[in-house]
């Protein structure tokens, strides 16, 4: 790289950066992805363990029917698994009857409807304020907020969640969502292990400084996670305080997965879900036999994930094992062993799982996405008004930023 020159520097090679760079290449624009890691995909990451493709980051093709990754993965010849997700049906579990599970889902649905109905001309609310006062399922709904926002209801903007668009269809990629996303970047020009330290947009051309050299470009597309933009006021020179502020309104919540092997898996129905303790906020969700595999996918969210992640795999496993023993009895401890995990909160190139908006900050998504001087463009899941927190939202913002850059280069 030493001192390279391109038309567009794409900063970050996750779903957004790949989407942007592919669109630029298709338009005949010379683009270069600058990526801090030694791989493409970012928060989309499939690892092969014991012959299974395991998604440590995104796993579900949310809004699958209109999700561009569905088409891309199918075109790559991958298997689109259309089994409905466990959360789409009310299943009983120890400590929660089917009737109770139904009642909890109705209470969760009602909360989302109240968020959806919040008029745009009224002040934003905390999601927690929209809970039914004293509601029987409030603790579990708060735990679930940890799974889908990565944060407690008391931290999340109701307006932002109300804007989220979901077609209610959720599919998976048998060979891994992360693998499909990374493969879409095959053949693109990428500099790996090239963390960007500064984006100097004060001169005639944009100078992108990395730990391995400098790239000069006519335009740049910044796809860094919002947590990283918020944390470094000196990332842009001259500084862009509006960007730093907007990114700070869109923190990344904490969510981590831990995959366990499960001996005697046949005793459990495939694709079922159990909450560790349906009466607690600090509880994990367990998907038994995903894809029918002899495994459990444990999902930790919010403060619980942040706390346990600090203790590494051992702490995540100890917590999961104790909740599973509480559900299925003492013998269960011998049936499970950890096989894969990743701590996204401590990952220096993510610093969290996916973005949520703080109360009053839903419009920060548009502020973060807004171009600067017609040559600095922004993409990434946090920039999406209605598909934030997802891999398809990231992709769509990447393509949109590429379109903006293409139009700007023609001027």
Ligand X SMILES: Cc1cc2nc3c(=O)[nH]c(=O)nc-3n(C[C@H](O)[C@H](O)[C@H](O)COP(=O)(O)OP(=O)(O)OC[C@H]3O[C@@H](n4cnc5c(N)ncnc54)[C@H](O)[C@@H]3O)c2cc1C
The least CB distance from residue 208 to ligand X, in Å, is 9
The least CB distance from residue 276 to ligand X, in Å, is 17
* Only segment of 70-78, 152-160, 270-278, 348-356 that touches ligand X (CB under 6 A): 348-356
Q: Under the criterion CB under 6 A, does residue 259 sit at the interface with ligand X?
A: no
DSSP string, 13-59: -BHHHHHHHHHHHHTT--EEEE-SSSSSBTT--EEEETTEEEESS--
Q: Which is nearer to ligand X, 57 or 176 (CB)?
A: 57
Report d(CA 255, CA 353) in Å as an integer.
6
The least CB distance from residue 235 to ligand X, in Å, is 8
Q: Under the criterion CB under 6 A, does residue 14 sit at the interface with ligand X?
A: yes
Please choose, from the candidates 294, 19, 69, the residue with its C-alpha nearest in 3D space to the C-alpha of residue 176.
69
The least CB distance from residue 56 to ligand X, in Å, is 7
- Please say whether the beta carbons of 302 and 373 come within 8 A: no
- Please say whether the beta carbons of 166 and 55 come within 8 A: no
Report d(CA 60, CA 133) in Å as an integer.
32
Residues 326-345 that bind ligand X (CB under 6 A): 344
Member of 20, 53, 221, 224 binding ligand X (CB under 6 A)? 224
The least CB distance from residue 393 to ligand X, in Å, is 7
- Please say whether the beta carbons of 134 and 32 come within 8 A: no
Member of 24, 350, 402, 406 binding ligand X (CB under 6 A)? 350
The least CB distance from residue 383 to ligand X, in Å, is 8
CA angle 154, 160, 164 (to 5 degrees): 120
Residues 167-196 that bind ligand X (CB under 6 A): 195-196
- Please say whether the beta carbons of 383 and 369 come within 8 A: yes
Member of 144, 220, 339, 394 binding ligand X (CB under 6 A)? 394
The least CB distance from residue 228 to ligand X, in Å, is 5
Member of 104, 380, 396, 405 binding ligand X (CB under 6 A)? 380
Please choose, from the candidates 206, 256, 221, the residue with its C-alpha nearest in 3D space to the C-alpha of residue 35.
221
Provide the residue count of the chain. Answer: 411
* Only segment of 7-15, 240-248, 267-275, 313-321 that touches ligand X (CB under 6 A): 7-15
H helix or E strand, kind and range, residue 164: none
Member of 10, 15, 115, 246 binding ligand X (CB under 6 A)? 15
- Please say whether the beta carbons of 246 and 224 come within 8 A: no
Sign of CA dihedral 243, 248, 250, 253: positive
Q: Under the criterion CB under 6 A, does residue 12 sit at the interface with ligand X?
A: yes
Q: Which is nearer to ligand X, 114 or 385 (CB)?
A: 385
Going by DSSP bridges, is the β-strand pair 3-11/213-222 parallel, antiparallel, or unpaired? Answer: parallel
Q: Under the criterion CB under 6 A, does residue 16 sit at the interface with ligand X?
A: yes
Q: Under the criterion CB under 6 A, does residue 244 sit at the interface with ligand X?
A: no
The least CB distance from residue 44 to ligand X, in Å, is 4
Contact letters for ligand X, residues 21-60 (x by CB under 6 A): -------------xxxx----xxx------------xxxx
| Helix locations, 51-117, DSSP H | 68-75, 98-116
Q: Which is nearer to ligand X, 6 or 130 (CB)?
A: 6
- Please say whether the beta carbons of 259 and 288 come within 8 A: no
Report d(CA 164, CA 149) in Å as an integer.
11
* Only segment of 80-88, 116-124, 313-321, 384-392 that touches ligand X (CB under 6 A): 384-392
Report d(CA 398, CA 391) in Å as an integer.
11
Residues forming contacts to ligand X in the complex (CB under 6 A) are 11-17, 34-37, 42-44, 57-60, 62, 195-196, 223-225, 228, 255, 257, 344, 349-350, 353-354, 380-381, 389-392, 394
């Amino acid at each position: 790289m030493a001192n390279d020159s391109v038309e567009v520097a794409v900063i970050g090679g996750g779903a957004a950066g790949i989407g942007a760079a592919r669109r630029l290449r298709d338009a005949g624009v010379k683009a270069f992805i600058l990526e801090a890691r030694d791989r493409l995909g970012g928060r989309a990451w499939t690892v092969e363990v014991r012959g299974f493709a395991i998604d440590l980051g995104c796993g579900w093709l949310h809004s699958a029917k209109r999700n561009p990754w569905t088409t891309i993965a199918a075109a790559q010849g991958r298997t689109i698994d259309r089994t409905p997700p466990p959360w789409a049906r009310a299943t009983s579990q120890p400590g929660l009857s089917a009737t109770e599970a139904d009642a909890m889902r109705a209470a969760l649905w009602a909360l989302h409807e109240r968020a959806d109905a919040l008029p745009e001309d009224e002040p934003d609310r905390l999601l927690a304020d929209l809970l039914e006062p004293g509601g029987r399922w409030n603790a579990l709904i708060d735990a679930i907020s940890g799974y889908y926002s990565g944060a407690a209801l008391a931290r999340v903007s109701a307006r932002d969640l109300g804007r989220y668009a979901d077609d209610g269809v959720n599919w998976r990629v048998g060979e891994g969502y992360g693998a499909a996303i990374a493969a879409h970047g095959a053949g693109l020009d990428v500099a790996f292990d090239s963390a960007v330290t500064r984006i100097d947009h004060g001169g005639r051309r944009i100078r992108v400084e990395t730990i391995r050299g400098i790239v000069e470009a006519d335009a740049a597309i910044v796809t860094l996670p919002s947590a990283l933009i918020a944390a470094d006021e000196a990332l842009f020179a001259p500084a862009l305080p509006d960007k730093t502020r907007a990114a700070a309104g869109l923190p990344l919540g904490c969510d981590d997965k831990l995959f366990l092997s499960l001996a005697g898996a046949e005793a459990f129905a495939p694709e079922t879900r159990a909450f560790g303790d349906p009466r607690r906020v600090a509880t994990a969700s367990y998907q038994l036999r995903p894809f029918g595999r002899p495994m459990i996918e444990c999902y930790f969210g919010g403060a619980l994930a942040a706390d346990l992640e600090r203790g590494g795999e051992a702490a995540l496993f100890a917590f999961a094992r104790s909740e599973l023993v509480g559900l299925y009895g003492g013998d269960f401890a011998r049936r499970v062993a950890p096989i894969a995990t990743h701590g996204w909160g401590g990952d220096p190139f993510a610093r969290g799982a996916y973005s949520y908006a703080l109360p009053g900050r839903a419009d920060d998504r548009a502020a973060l996405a807004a171009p600067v001087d017609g040559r600095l463009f922004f993409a990434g899941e946090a920039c999406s008004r209605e598909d934030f927190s997802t891999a398809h939202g990231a992709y769509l913002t990447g393509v949109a930023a590429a379109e903006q850059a293409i139009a700007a280069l023609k001027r």
